[in-house]
Amino acid sequence: MKIFFVTLTLVFLADTGMAQSNGKYANVNGLKMYYEVHGDGFPLVLIHGGGSTIGTTFGRILPILAKTHKVIAVELQAHGHTADIDRPLSFEQDADDVAELLKQLHIAKADIFGFSNGASTTLEMAIRHPEQVNKIIVASTMYKKDGAYPWLWEMMAHPSFEQMPQQLKDAYREINPDKNALLAMYNRDVTRMQSFKDIREEEIKGIKTSALIICGDQDVVRPEHAVEMYRNMQHAKLLTIPGGHGEYLGEITTVKPGHNNYPALETIENFLNEQ
């Protein structure tokens, strides 16, 4: 069963015509972080899900977003083109890395759009670096453990590398053929979820930026939790859409042949363009 893993970077490149040659690296907090910049306009940071890459999470909608925004898409520690280093994985550290990248790019303020684990990082950006955040979009995430269905935590209690679909392993190896790196990424993500810590409700209530919360009605996250998050935030909107984990974004493992309808996109664009 799929949790937070996504696939097929090469499909993204073929569909969008975007080449990896536009990717760059920045040294942030001891990490050589990979990022891409597409388009012009107000900055919009894209943060992928766990086990994923820029293309596998956002490949279907990135070209559309780049028509009206300056998209800064990142790959976090141990994911995609960004190699692992000797430090624990945490949403807080990921947020600090993204914040440092924005400083190096001389971007004072940006909209932040995260999916799944990337949305947990987005919440930490709003909590830890509010001066750098304009608006946030948090898609398919929770801020406390009971926000996800019990089956997720049961699976995390008994993980197996074999459970990771072969197509996901192949997608990672297209970027990094090191088998040890793939296993390390898997173990890193599992360990982070096994030690998942709730964000304090006071911190969620303290987020002052405008927020769009998105959840599928058959998501990893319970729709009731998305409603709870919406009610705890000061300036939030809520979008619940039929479908599974990332289906509303065209997340690559959810897309069927000939599928080109991404029902969250119009709401996302309207939210980002509101004054």
Residue 236 lies in a domain: no
- 4 assigned to some structural domain: no
Q: What single DSSP character describes residue 131?
A: G
Q: Is residue 41 situated within a structural domain?
A: yes
What single letter denotes the amino acid at residue 46?
L
- Residue 262 has which token pair? 């991404």
The pLDDT of residue 23 is: 94
Q: How far apart are CA 41 and CA 120, in angstroms?
A: 25
Residues in CB range of 273: below 8 A, 6 or more apart: 68
Strand partners, 73: 36, 46
- pLDDT score of 171: 76
Residue 246 lies in domain: 9-209+242-273
pLDDT tens for the 275 residues of the chain, in order? 333 333 333 333 434 334 455 799 999 999 999 999 999 999 999 999 998 989 889 999 999 999 999 999 999 999 999 999 999 999 999 999 999 999 999 999 999 999 999 999 999 999 999 999 999 999 999 999 999 999 999 989 999 888 876 667 777 888 888 888 989 999 999 999 999 999 999 999 999 999 999 999 999 999 999 999 999 999 999 999 999 999 999 887 787 777 778 999 999 999 999 98
Helix, strand, coil in percent for the chain, rounding step 5: 45, 20, 35
Domain contains 222: no
In order of 29, 61, 126, 129, 137, the CA distances from 96 in angstroms are 8, 26, 11, 8, 18
Strand 70-75 with 31-38, pairing: antiparallel
Assess if residue 215 is contained within a domain.
no
Look at residue 225 and tell me if it is in a domain.
Answer: no
pLDDT of residue 167: 63
- What pLDDT score does 2 carry? 38
What total of structural domains would you count in the chain?
1
User: Do the domain assignments include residue 90?
Assistant: yes
- Burial (CB count <10 Å: 0-12, 13-18, 19+), residue 87: exposed
At residue 46, the pLDDT reads: 98
CATH of residue 248: 3.40.50.1820
In terms of Cα–Cα distance, which of 47, 97, 90, 99 is closest to 72? 47
Pairing, β 43-47 against β 23-28: unpaired
> Residue 63 falls within a domain, yes or no?
yes
Q: How far apart are CA 162 and CA 3, in angstroms?
A: 14
